[in-house]
Chains A and B, each alone.
Chain A
Amino acid sequence: MRSIIFANYSAKDTRRLGATMDVEQSYVRFLGNLILNLWDCGGQEAFMECYFTAQKDNIFKNVEVLIYVFDVQSQELDKDLHYYQSCLESILQHSSHAKIFCLVHKMDLISEDMRETIFAERQNILTDLSKPLQCSCFRTSIWDETLYKAWSQIVYQLVPNVKGLEKTLTNFAEIIDADEILLFEKATFLVISHCTRKAHRDPRRFEKISDIIKQFKLSCSKLTAAFQSMEVRNSTFACFIELLTPNTYVMVVISDPTISSEVTLMNIRNARKVFEKLEKDVARN
C-alpha cells in the first residue's frame, strides 16, 4: 500500500516487494512542507513480539496516526485481534491522542456479494475492541479505488488548517459557478479537500478519480514525461485539472458548457494567489 500511494508503484509492481524486515522508516513529503515519518512495521511474529516488549517506547511514542492492517483472509483472527489489542494498550500508554485507522485489506479476494457483510462484521468487532479509543474502519484492496478512499481519509486528518481550506474552496466554487471542486495533494493525488455544490449520484467518485489520474500518470512516466494539466469535456460537463499551489492540484467541474475554457482557466490562475497565501500562512504557524 505504501508503495502504491507514496512511491508511484502500480498494483502489479507490488508483486516484487519482499517481506518487510523489522521496521522500515521512510520520510514522505506531503503538501510541500509537511514531512510524514512513516514507520512500516513488518508483520512476522518475531517482530510483533519485539514491538510490544523491547521496542515499545521507541515505536509507540509521539504517534499521530496508527494504521493497523488486517488481512481479511487470515485464518488466525484471534491472534490478529490480540496483537491489535496490544497495539492499542501501547498507544494508550504513550500517545493517547493518536487517531486510529483499521484497514481490512485484500478485499478483492472475497466475492463481491459477501464483501459488505464481512466488512460490517469486522467493523463491529473492531470498534468494540477499541473502546475507549475510537477507530475508523475501511475495507481496502490495491486492485480498486477503495485503497484511495481509505488513505484519503487518513491524510485528511493530517492536513493542517483543513477547515480554512474548505472555506476558501467553497468561496471559489460560488464565484466561478462550479458544480464541484476537488483539491488533490500533488504527489499522491489523494483528495484532501472538496466542495460540492451540486449533488452527485456516485459517492465513490473521489477515489475513482484518484485512481484514474494515478493510472494516467504512470503511463505518462513511461514516456518520461509527466502531465501538467488537463481538460476533459463533453456536451454535459467540462472538467479542468490544474496545478493550484506548488503542492496541490485542483479539479474544477462545471456543467454549464457555454462557459469557455479560457474563462475557467483564468479564474483558476487568479485563485492561485489566494491559495498560495493560505499555504504560506499555515506553514508559518
Chain B
Amino acid sequence: MVDTTSPHVNDTSGENNNDPSIAFMRPRILLTGLRRSGKTSIQRVIFTKMQPSQTQFLESTPQLVTNHFSCGSFINFQVQELPGQLHVFPSSQSSSVTGETNEQSSSYDDDASHMLGNGYDMERLLKRCHAVVYIIDAQDDYSESIARLNMIIQLGCTVNPKIRYEVFIHKVDQLSEEAKSDTQRDIHNQVRDRFTDTGNELDHWPSTPFSSNTNSRGVLINFHLTSIYDHSIFEAFSKVIQKLLPQFGHLEYLLNYLLTASNIEQAFLFDIQTKISIATDSSPTDMQMYELCCDMIDLLINMSEIYGQPNGNDGDEIENDVDYDPTNGQEMNGIHSAAEDLYQNSSRAIDQQCYSETTDEPAFNVFDSMSSSVIKLTGGRALYLKEINHHLALICVLREEALAKQAIIDYNVKQLKDSILKL
C-alpha cells in the first residue's frame, strides 16, 4: 500500500552525517508490530510532543519511517518504524514483489529468511539494527502478534545474534493492576512456548521472572508495560536507549560519583526535548520521581518562555500566543517526517519517498547555558536542575540540608558537565 499521493521529495539518504564512522556507531532501533498497535503514536508522543489524545487521528503508516534523534555530540539514534502491514512472501516471488499480492499467513513457518513486506527486506534491516522494539497491543487478541514476534526473533538470531529485543506490552492504561500482570505473564509464556514449538535448537529459557531473559544462545528479551497516556512509555523508552548507549556505563559511573561526593539521593540526565532519561545513577527509581522530573522540565521551559527570552524581543505585543500550552510543552522547530527507501530491486523504488527528519537543532532557545532551577518540596526534599548542554539537563534529588552546601554541588556538577562534554 504505497502512498503515491505524497510529494516526491529529492532522494537524499536518511543519514545526516557524512562521516561514515559516526553513522556506523549510531545505534539503530527497529520499531515494529502489527498494524494499529501504536508505533507511530509512540514516536509522535515522545519525539514531537503530540498530545496522546490526538494520536487517535493518525493514519496508518505506509512506509518505513526513519527518525534521527540526536542530543549532543555523542548521542545519536536512529529509530526506524516499520509499517504494520507486513506481508510475507516465499522467496520464489522476490523478483516481482509489489504491494498487491495476497498475504500468506500460513507461510510463517517456512522461508522466514526471505521475508519481504511492502518491499522491505527484513533480513537487511535486522542485520543493521541493534535493538528491536516490538509493540503488542494488550487490548487486542495478541496471538498473531506473538507469532510475528517469534518469527522476527528467529530471523534475528540467525542474522544478527547481538540484537536486543524489547517487547512493549502497550495500551495497558485501561487494564487493572491484576490484569496487567496477568497479561505480562501470559505473553511471556506464549513467547517461550512458541519458541519451543517450532523445534528450533533454542534451549529452554531459565525461569526467571519478567525483566530479563536469556537462553544459552544469549537472546536478550525484555518486557515492558506501557501506555502513551502516562509516563510509562517514556520510562520504557528511556530504559531501551540507556542500554544501547555505548557511553552509558561511563555516565552511570560519573553520576554515582556525583552522588557520593555531594550527598545527593538520585541523579538523572534528561534530554529536554523528549524527556527521555539518558542516564541515571545505580539506585532504583520509581515512576513518580521520574514524572516529577518531567514536570519540572516543563515548568522550567514554560517560565523561561515567558520571562527568559533573549533581549530584542521586548516591545512586541503578543496578541495570540498560539505556541503556548503548559500541558503540552513547546512546539518543535524544524521537524519534518521521514521515509527511507530500502528496497532497491523493484521499479517501484521511485515512488518511495525520502524526506529527512532531524532533531539536531536545540529545540528551545530559552534553554541556555545558565538555565537552572531549584524546587523545594515539603518533606525536606529538593529538586535541582542544571543545564549540561543544549539538549541535556541534570536533575538531582536531594535533601534540603544537602542543598545548603550548594557551592560544592555547583562545583561538582560543573566538573561532571565538563567530563560529559569531553566524552
- Say whether A associates with B: yes
Q: Are B326 and A212 in contact (CB under 8 A)?
A: yes
B291 neighbours in A (Cβ, 8 Å) = 219, 222
**A230 touches which of B292, B307, B373 (Cβ 8 Å):** B373
| Assembled-state Cα–Cα distance A236/B366 (Å) | 9
**B299 touches which of A205, A228, A232 (Cβ 8 Å):** A232
| Assembled-state Cα–Cα distance A219/B290 (Å) | 11
**B303 touches which of A202, A235, A239 (Cβ 8 Å):** A239
Q: Which residue of B lies closest to A198 (CB)?
A: B314
- Which of B311, B322, B377, B379 has the largest number of chain A CB atoms within 10 A? B377
| Assembled-state Cα–Cα distance A211/B324 (Å) | 11
- Judged by a CB distance under 8 angstroms, whether A234 is at the interface is yes
A204 neighbours in B (Cβ, 8 Å) = 318, 321
**A201 touches which of B314, B320, B325 (Cβ 8 Å):** B314
Q: Are B376 and A212 in contact (CB under 8 A)?
A: no
Which residues of chain B from 297 to 333 have a CB within 8 Å of any chain A CB? 298-300, 302-304, 306-311, 313-318, 320-322, 324-327
Q: Are A216 and B369 in contact (CB under 8 A)?
A: no
A215 neighbours in B (Cβ, 8 Å) = 295, 298-299, 326-327
- Judged by a CB distance under 8 angstroms, whether A132 is at the interface is no
Q: Are A233 and B373 in contact (CB under 8 A)?
A: yes
Q: Are B327 and A209 in contact (CB under 8 A)?
A: no
**A229 touches which of B295, B296, B298, B376 (Cβ 8 Å):** B376
Q: Are B320 and A228 in contact (CB under 8 A)?
A: no
Q: Are B307 and A235 in contact (CB under 8 A)?
A: no
Q: Are A212 and B317 in contact (CB under 8 A)?
A: no
Q: Are A232 and B292 in contact (CB under 8 A)?
A: no
- Which of B369, B372, B381 has the largest number of chain A CB atoms within 10 A? B372
Chain B interface mostly: loop
- Judged by a CB distance under 8 angstroms, whether B25 is at the interface is no
| Assembled-state Cα–Cα distance A213/B367 (Å) | 19
Q: Which residue of A lies closest to B300 (CB)?
A: A232
Q: Are A202 and B318 in contact (CB under 8 A)?
A: yes
Q: Are B307 and A237 in contact (CB under 8 A)?
A: yes
The count of A-to-B residue pairs whose CB atoms sit within 8 angstroms is 119
CB B315 to nearest CB in A, in angstroms, measures 6
- Judged by a CB distance under 8 angstroms, whether B423 is at the interface is no
Q: Which residue of B lies closest to A257 (CB)?
A: B370
**B314 touches which of A199, A234, A239 (Cβ 8 Å):** A199
Q: Are A236 and B311 in contact (CB under 8 A)?
A: yes
Q: Are A219 and B303 in contact (CB under 8 A)?
A: no
Q: Are B308 and A201 in contact (CB under 8 A)?
A: no
CB A169 to nearest CB in B, in angstroms, measures 18
| Assembled-state Cα–Cα distance A261/B373 (Å) | 11
A253 neighbours in B (Cβ, 8 Å) = 307
| Assembled-state Cα–Cα distance A202/B377 (Å) | 29
CB B399 to nearest CB in A, in angstroms, measures 13
**A225 touches which of B296, B306, B377 (Cβ 8 Å):** B377
- Judged by a CB distance under 8 angstroms, whether A122 is at the interface is no
Q: Are B367 and A219 in contact (CB under 8 A)?
A: no
Write the residues of chain A forming the contact surface with B, with a CB cutoff of 8 angstroms: 112, 144-145, 199-205, 208-209, 211-213, 215-216, 219-220, 222-223, 225-237, 239, 253, 255, 257, 261
Q: What 8 pairs across the A-B complex have the smallest Cβ distances?
A: A235-B370, A219-B295, A234-B308, A230-B375, A234-B371, A225-B377, A237-B307, A232-B373
Write the residues of chain B forming the contact surface with A, with a CB cutoff of 8 angstroms: 288-289, 291-292, 295-296, 298-300, 302-304, 306-311, 313-318, 320-322, 324-327, 366-379, 381
